[in-house]
Amino acid sequence: MIEVKGLYKSFNGQEVLKGVDFSVDKGEIFAVIGKSGEGKSVLLKHLLGLLKPDSGQVLVDGEDMSALSGPALYKLRDRFGYLFQGGALFDSMSIFDNVAFPLREKTKLKPKEVTERVEDELAKVGLSGVGHKFPAEVSGGMKKRAAFARVLVMRPEIVLFDEPTTGLDPILVDSVHNLIVWGQKEYGYTAVVVSHEIPEIFGVAGRLAFLSGGVMLQVGTPEQIRNSDIPIIKRFVRATPEGGFLDEQA
């Protein structure tokens, strides 16, 4: 469904992506893992066309996202939902209005239908009764769930999750991961999740890719990544600091 071919991107001469290749099948949950600052979020923004690559392609059902602009890009983007790291809720609107926003702007639903759909979506993510509150009045976990409701309300075919659990406590991390899996089963979307939640992400994703040094070092099932022979992946998966600190202690 999504195929990324030879993606290069640099900012002010600093190369971030140096030829990234991978593909995501329809209906799967695909995770991109790797250390902070390796360009995972940059990669995700390329999938949605928010950033243009220096070279390479992002193919969505054969259509090159990176070559599109204007209405054609917007049309392809309509198939996507994007859950931003901080939620990116509009802080001048209530939670209800945030979730209703895409419905009001992009559909011709009547106000009553919008209300029903928003309340239904908020209930599904466990936010019944908080629609009147503003983003600044709710917790980080609630913001993430509200942002997820805003994504789901448009029934996207592909959902991109940019570190959806950053800054949450372990229980909330678990609840967000459950939501991702539940949403996939409920709506059948294809998901690309950028995460550093090890080992929790192994229970969520069907396949994972490890991004390091601007390239995908390994793409495989959770089992294959867990048992990887590549030293940097081994260290990352076992949460061992670089330089073998734990080895030295032993």
Partner 1 sequence: MFSFFQSIGAYTIGGVRKTGHMTVFLGTTLYWTVRPPLKVGRLLRQISFTGAKSVPLIVLTGGFTGMILGLQVYYTLRKFGADAYLGPAVALSLIRELGPVLSALMITGRAGSAIAAEIGIMRITEQVDALESMSLSPFRYLMAPNLLAGIIAFPLLGSIFNVVGIYGGYIVGVKLLGVSSGTYFSGIQDFIEFNDITDGLIKSLSFGVIMIWICTYEGYYTRHGAEGVSKATTTAVVMSSILVLVWDYFLNSVMV
Residues at the site binding partner 1, with contacts judged by CB under 8 A: 45, 48, 50, 74-75, 77-78, 80-82, 84-86, 88-91, 101-102, 105-106, 154
Minimum Å gap between C-beta 90 and partner 1 is 6
Minimum Å gap between C-beta 105 and partner 1 is 6
Nearer to partner 1, 93 or 181 (CB): 93
| 3-class SS string, the chain | CEEEEEEEEEECCEEEEEEEEEEECCCCEEEEECCCCCCHHHHHHHHCCCCCCCEEEEEECCEEHHHCCHHHHHHHHCCEEEECCCCCCCCCCCHHHHHHHHHHHHCCCCHHHHHHHHHHHHHHCCCCCCCCCCHHHCCHHHHHHHHHHHHHCCCCCEEEEECCCCCCCHHHHHHHHHHHHHHHHHHCCEEEEEECCCCHHHHCCCEEEEEECCEEEEEECHHHHHCCCCHHHHHHHCCCCCCCHHHHHC
Q: How far is the C-alpha of 167 from the C-alpha of 239, rounded, in Å?
A: 18
Nearer to partner 1, 32 or 216 (CB): 32
Minimum Å gap between C-beta 190 and partner 1 is 16
Nearer to partner 1, 109 or 230 (CB): 109
Nearer to partner 1, 48 or 205 (CB): 48
Minimum Å gap between C-beta 100 and partner 1 is 12
Contact call for residues 39 and 212 (beta carbons, < 8 A): no
Minimum Å gap between C-beta 226 and partner 1 is 32
Nearer to partner 1, 72 or 246 (CB): 72
Token pair 């009547």: residue = 110
Minimum Å gap between C-beta 22 and partner 1 is 21
Q: How far is the C-alpha of 231 from the C-alpha of 206, rounded, in Å?
A: 22
Minimum Å gap between C-beta 82 and partner 1 is 4
Nearer to partner 1, 66 or 210 (CB): 66
Nearer to partner 1, 48 or 122 (CB): 48
